[in-house]
């Protein structure tokens, strides 16, 4: 988590201050549930509660240097602050009850913030999808011109993919919103399932089905995989922006800010640096998936090998994903689209994109597909090598006009025909994304 790629709310979320407040919240929720259960004196939590604002991160860290145990350091500090009532805290609990439950709170909050951004990103796409619903563009496979699409259709594809990723993030929420107040090895030896349930529900969480000393780490693995899927969806869009902005295409480009300099040496350069940056960041988020999976197989009731991993990938992957969502939202909102360039490029091959239509028209007369392929190919190759306009060449090929009239040929070069269904697809995508 470096400042450059961290939204301010994530700086705050992953701060040590917030960490200790989270621990405090968990201890208090547990304490209140124990009051209900009658094993802690009524009113204890209320007596301790006001000291939440008095927690001093630096002091706790200082104590930890002595105890070499973070939760014990925290409790020592709280006891110093709140006095006798604080002695009732943490009763029958193990450190992981606090750590894992507080981590669940932060991971869930991080997820919620990412989901909120994801929803905004989808909505931002929807605006541009509608705007360019009918803007013709050439579709490409293998980087080679294929057949026409609309720019709105392209964006709709990205919107649909990002929307699926957001849906997956939402599906992951109940998996990660799970805490644990079940004691040393998850047996409630000095607690009860009822205490856990009351405490966790008060925090908006559910209990782990079967705790070990910790919440099971398959939950985290699923979470990071969902982040990586979201990042990959952004990566695909960003990759295409980079293509569109190439000098030879300039079909679309990133908004360029006044005062921004593209190059220290070449004053005219406008580089797709946001998109390239997003592609790089996708690698970072993706890189969290494998260690998260490696974290699953803890030994027996737990070992602590997962902890260092999560201390790093937890903040890094969530903050980076949130940053990507913000940046991608700006990117799509500000994307400068050049319809005239899109059209010029679409026409660049002199209508070669119509070749399939001609092929099908020939096959429709009963000609064998392979024979038709040969007929079309010989004209296509001439056009491709600049030996004439494709439509003209076709109309001059007697073998072809013997089969299909020139009007049929002409109809295959009609963009409206080629794009007849694109609006249907776009509407389907908008509806599915809740943007209809």
Per CB under 8 A, which of residues 228..257 are in contact with a copy of itself? Answer: 228-229, 232-233, 235-236, 238-240, 242-243, 245-249, 257
| Minimum separation from the CB atom of position 66 to a copy of itself (A) | 5
Judge whether 263 counts as a catalytic residue: yes
SS3 content of the chain, % helix, strand, coil (to 5): 65, 5, 30
Q: Taking CB under 8 A as the criterion, which residues in 11-50 touch a copy of itself? A: none
**Residue 85 in contact with a copy of itself, rule: CB under 8 A:** no
Determine contact, residues 115/176, Cβ cutoff 8 Å. no
Q: Interface residues for a copy of itself in 326-355 (CB under 8 A)?
A: 345, 348-349, 352-353, 355
CB of 273 to a copy of itself, least distance (A): 6
In DSSP terms, which residues pair with 179 in a beta bridge? 207
* Cα–Cα dist 222/75, whole Å: 32
Separation CA 310–CA 291 (nearest Å): 9
Pick out residues in 97-136 that bind a copy of itself (CB under 8 A).
none
> By C-alpha distance, which of 75, 105, 91 is closest to 14?
105
Nearest approach, Cβ of residue 253 and a copy of itself (Å): 10
Catalytic residue among 263, 305, 308, 417: 263
The DSSP code for 147 is E
Judged by CB, which is closer to a copy of itself: 28, or 53? 28
* Tokens standing for residue 205: 């969480």
Binding mask 43-82 for a copy of itself (x = CB under 8 A): -----------------------xxxx-xx--xx--x---
CB of 203 to a copy of itself, least distance (A): 19
Show the CA angle centred on residue 206, arms to residues 203 and 212, nearest 5°: 115
Cβ-based nearer residue to a copy of itself, 53 or 156 = 156
Q: How far apart are alpha carbons 164 and 122 in whole angstroms?
A: 10
Regarding 148 and contact with a copy of itself (CB under 8 A), the answer is yes
Contact between 7 and 323 under an 8 Å Cβ cutoff? The reply is: yes
For 320, the enclosing helix (H) or strand (E) is: helix 305-334
| Closer residue to a copy of itself, CB minimum distance, 53 or 209 | 209
Q: Which is nearer to a copy of itself, 53 or 211 (CB)?
A: 211
Our answer to whether residue 158 is catalytic in this structure is no
421 binds a copy of itself per the rule CB under 8 A:
yes
Distance in Å, CB of 198 to a copy of itself, minimum:
15
Sign of CA dihedral 166, 421, 127, 149: positive
Residues with active-site annotation: 142, 263
């Amino acid at each position: 988590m470096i400042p450059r790629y961290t939204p301010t709310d994530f700086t705050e979320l992953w701060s040590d201050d917030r960490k200790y407040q989270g621990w405090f919240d968990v201890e208090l929720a547990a304490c209140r549930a124990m009051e209900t259960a009658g094993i802690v004196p009524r009113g204890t939590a209320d007596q301790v509660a006001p000291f939440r604002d008095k927690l001093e991160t630096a002091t706790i860290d200082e104590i930890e240097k002595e105890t070499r145990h973070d939760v014990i350091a925290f409790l020592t500090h709280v006891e110093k602050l709140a006095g006798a009532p604080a002695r009732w805290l943490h009763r029958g609990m193990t450190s992981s009850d606090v750590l894992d439950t507080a981590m669940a709170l932060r991971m869930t909050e991080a997820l919620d913030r990412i989901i909120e951004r994801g929803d905004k990103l989808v909505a931002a796409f929807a605006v541009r999808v509608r705007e360019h619903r009918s803007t013709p563009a050439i579709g490409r496979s293998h980087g080679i011109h294929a057949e026409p699409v609309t720019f709105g259709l392209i964006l709709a594809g990205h919107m649909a993919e990002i929307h699926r990723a957001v849906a997956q993030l939402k599906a992951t929420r109940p998996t990660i919103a799970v805490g644990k107040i079940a004691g040393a090895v998850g047996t409630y030896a000095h607690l009860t399932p009822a205490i856990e349930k009351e405490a966790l529900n008060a925090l908006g969480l559910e209990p782990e089905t079967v705790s070990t000393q910790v919440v099971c780490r398959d939950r985290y693995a699923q979470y990071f995989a969902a982040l990586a899927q979201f990042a990959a969806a952004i990566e695909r869009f960003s990759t295409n922006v980079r293509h569109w902005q190439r000098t030879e295409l300039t079909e679309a480009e990133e908004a360029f800010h006044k005062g921004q300099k593209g190059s220290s040496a070449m004053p005219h350069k406008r580089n797709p640096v946001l998109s390239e940056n997003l592609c790089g960041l996708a690698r970072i988020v993706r890189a969290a998936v494998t260690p998260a999976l490696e974290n699953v197989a803890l030994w027996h009731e737990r070992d602590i090998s997962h902890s260092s991993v999560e201390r790093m990938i937890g903040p890094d992957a969530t903050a980076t994903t949130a940053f990507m969502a913000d940046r991608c939202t700006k990117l799509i909102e500000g994307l400068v689209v050049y319809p005239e360039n899109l059209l010029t490029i679409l026409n660049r091959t002199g209508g070669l994109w119509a070749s399939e239509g001609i092929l099908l028209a020939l096959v429709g007369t009963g000609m064998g597909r392979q024979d038709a392929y040969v007929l079309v190919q010989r004209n296509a190759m001439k056009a491709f090598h600049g030996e004439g306009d494709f439509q003209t060449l076709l109309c001059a090929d007697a073998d072809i006009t013997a089969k299909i009239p020139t009007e049929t040929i002409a109809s295959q070069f009609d963009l409206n025909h080629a794009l007849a269904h694109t609006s249907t697809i776009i509407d389907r995508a908008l509806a599915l994304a809740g943007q209809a």
